[in-house]
């Protein structure tokens, strides 16, 4: 009996495996997104009545709907009344922060609260059509944990690159200066001198950072510093960039003031965030290095309409607002590369696409160029151009749908009707 059993069992298992494989489909299940119109964000061309064939998390093919019959097992998404385009990308967010400028609120924020806040904000941001983002600054690596939870499917949210704590000097924009000396409060990313900044870059990478965020100048929503004043020295920033690039990470530099913008660009950072006081000399240097500029301009309008800032923030906001748009317009017209960033959290998450309205209707950018800042340009800055930024076979199935062609009215992106991220429908598509 033992011999019979030993001979029988391998045959039984082989037959079982054959039966299971026969029951499984030979090709993965397809989802057909029947689009009324599809925007090519590279050329501005719009194709009517197209079907995007999605398999897994990727676009397999885009073809005329008339030539794409439904096959057995296909799921069909009706977006025939929508204009479809790639999901938008925001390269400057604070997904774990909320819009509360009370200093006491900031002092009582914990890493756990940040993470919980991030879960809610990530969903809101995804539903607004932002399918990828770069988070540039979070306490206690809460954005690392959020990114990992999204990647694991535990919570909904965009694809994320995250920085963890931003690097800054003692007493600078990325430190916490709200309490007196006796409390000895210092933020996670504070580092001074070449040895310390190198160690902090390596620490951020150790704990999961995809990108390194530094504060090259003072800022607006911080006490006791000047947005126009440079903070890190050129030598410190060079040390940061060399280490980050050697270890495969890009560097984003918060920089309002002219000297800080110039030094950060010369140090080799990959993007200048804000750029409010940018000068012609910095524009020339950024074009020479191919450095991206990430304006964050809608927040200034939102502040006028809805913001309530403490006095030591408010005057700095007024000063920056008086010059930023004119300077950014000059940089745009000069041909500096632009990627869309919003600083979402300074105003409510989910309003991200309002940034594009500023580019078009206040700064004179064409709708196509503005759309490219939030798609192909942003994907290029993030190093994700192979994965996203346009609707093409092989790329992530990150697809949004709106009621009108955004090349006719960029504001239509402020009301996204359909969201698919990585092949999964999160909004619309009924």
Query: Could you report the per-residue pLDDT of 292-306, keeping only the tens digit for each?
Result: 999 999 999 999 889
Distance of alpha carbon 5 from alpha carbon 206, whole angstroms: 53
- What sign results for the dihedral spanned by CA atoms 264, 270, 276, 279? positive
Beta-bridge partner residues of 121? none
Show the domains of the chain with their CATH numbers.
30-86+391-427 (2.30.40.10), 88-382 (3.20.20.140)
- Provide the whole-model pTM: 0.92
- Best CA proximity match to 143, nearest among 126, 155, 160, 124: 160
Q: What is the 3-state secondary structure (H, E, C) of 362-417?
A: CCCCCHHHHHHHCCHHHHHHHCCCCCCCCCCCCCECCEEEECCCCCCCHHHHHCCC
User: Which residues, in sequence order, are CB contacts of 378 under 8 Å at separation 6+?
Assistant: 89, 90, 91, 132, 339, 340, 389
- Best CA proximity match to 351, nearest among 151, 149, 109, 88: 88
Q: What is the mean pLDDT of the chain?
A: 93
Q: Calculate helix-pair angle for 280-289, 311-334, nearest 10 degrees.
A: 60
Give the pLDDT confidence of 201-257 residue by residue, as tens digits: 999 999 999 999 999 999 999 999 999 999 999 999 999 999 999 999 999 999 999
Which residue did the predictor score with more confidence, 420 or 1? Answer: 420
Query: Are the beta carbons of 347 and 90 closer than 8 angstroms?
Result: no
* Angstrom distances, CA of residue 35 to CA of 90, 207, 390, 394, 401: 24, 41, 15, 18, 8
Which residue did the predictor score with more confidence, 385 or 21? Answer: 385
Distance of alpha carbon 316 from alpha carbon 324, whole angstroms: 12
* Angstrom distances, CA of residue 51 to CA of 42, 129, 189, 393: 19, 20, 47, 12
Distance of alpha carbon 340 from alpha carbon 372, whole angstroms: 9
pLDDT at 430: 65
pLDDT at 429: 76
* Helix, strand, coil percentages in the chain from 3-state DSSP, rounded to 5: 40, 20, 40
* Angstrom distances, CA of residue 63 to CA of 41, 50, 376: 17, 6, 21
- What sign results for the dihedral spanned by CA atoms 321, 324, 325, 326? positive
**Residue 2: is its pLDDT beyond 70?**
no
What DSSP state is assigned to residue 291? -
Distance of alpha carbon 301 from alpha carbon 319, whole angstroms: 13
Beta-bridge partner residues of 312? none
pLDDT at 19: 46
**Residue 18: is its pLDDT beyond 60?**
no
With cut-offs at 50, 70 and 90, classify the pLDDT of residue 14. Answer: very low
The two tokens of residue 368 are 């196509």
Least confident span in 26-30, 43-47, 331-335? 26-30
Distance of alpha carbon 317 from alpha carbon 37, whole angstroms: 41
Helix (H, G, I), strand (E, B) or coil at 194: helix
b/e sequence 108-144, b meaning 16+ C-beta within 10 Å: ebeeeebbebbbebbbbbbbbbbbbbbbbbbbbbbbb
With cut-offs at 50, 70 and 90, classify the pLDDT of residue 6. Answer: very low
Distance of alpha carbon 97 from alpha carbon 93, whole angstroms: 9
**Residue 24: is its pLDDT beyond 50?**
no
């Amino acid at each position: 009996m033992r011999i019979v059993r030993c001979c029988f069992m391998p045959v039984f298992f082989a037959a079982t495996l054959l039966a299971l494989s026969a029951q499984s489909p030979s090709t993965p299940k397809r989802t057909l997104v029947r689009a009324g119109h599809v925007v090519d964000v590279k050329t501005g061309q719009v194709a009517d009545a197209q079907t995007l064939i999605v398999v897994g998390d990727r676009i397999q093919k885009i073809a005329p709907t008339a030539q794409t019959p439904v096959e057995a097992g296909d799921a069909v998404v009706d977006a025939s009344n929508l204009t479809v385009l790639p999901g938008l990308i925001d390269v400057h967010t604070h997904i774990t922060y909320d819009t509360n400028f009370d200093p006491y609120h900031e002092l009582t924020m914990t890493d756990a609260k940040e993470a919980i806040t991030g879960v809610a904000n990530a969903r809101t941001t995804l539903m607004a059509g932002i399918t990828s983002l770069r988070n540039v600054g979070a306490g206690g690596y809460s954005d690392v944990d959020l990114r990992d939870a999204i990647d694991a499917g535990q919570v909904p949210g965009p694809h994320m690159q995250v920085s963890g704590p931003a690097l800054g000097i003692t007493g600078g924009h990325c430190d916490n200066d709200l309490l007196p000396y006796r409390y000895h409060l210092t933020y996670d990313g504070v580092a001074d001198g070449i040895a310390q900044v190198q160690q902090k870059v390596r620490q951020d990478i150790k704990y999961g950072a995809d990108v390194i965020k530094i504060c090259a100048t003072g800022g607006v929503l911080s006490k006791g510093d000047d947005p126009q004043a440079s903070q890190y020295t050129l030598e410190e920033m060079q040390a940061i960039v060399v280490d980050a690039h050697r270890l495969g990470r890009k560097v984003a530099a918060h920089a309002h003031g002219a000297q800080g913008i110039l030094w950060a660009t010369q140090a080799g950072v990959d993007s200048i965030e804000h750029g409010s006081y940018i000068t012609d000399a910095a524009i020339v240097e950024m074009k020479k290095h191919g450095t991206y500029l990430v304006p964050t301009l809608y927040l200034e309008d939102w502040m006028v309409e809805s913001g309530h800032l403490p006095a030591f923030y408010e005057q700095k906001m007024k000063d920056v607002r008086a010059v930023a748009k004119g300077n950014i317009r000059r940089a745009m017209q000069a041909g500096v590369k632009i990627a869309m960033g919003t600083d979402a959290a300074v105003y409510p998450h989910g309003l991200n696409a309002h940034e594009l309205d500023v580019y078009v209707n206040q700064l004179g950018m064409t709708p196509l160029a503005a759309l490219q800042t939030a798609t192909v340009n942003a994907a290029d800055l993030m190093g994700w151009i192979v994965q996203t930024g346009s609707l093409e076979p092989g790329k992530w199935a990150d697809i949004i749908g709106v009621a009108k062609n955004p090349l006719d009215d960029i504001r239509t992106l402020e009301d996204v009707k359909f969201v698919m991220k990585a092949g999964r429908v999160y909004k619309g598509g009924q």
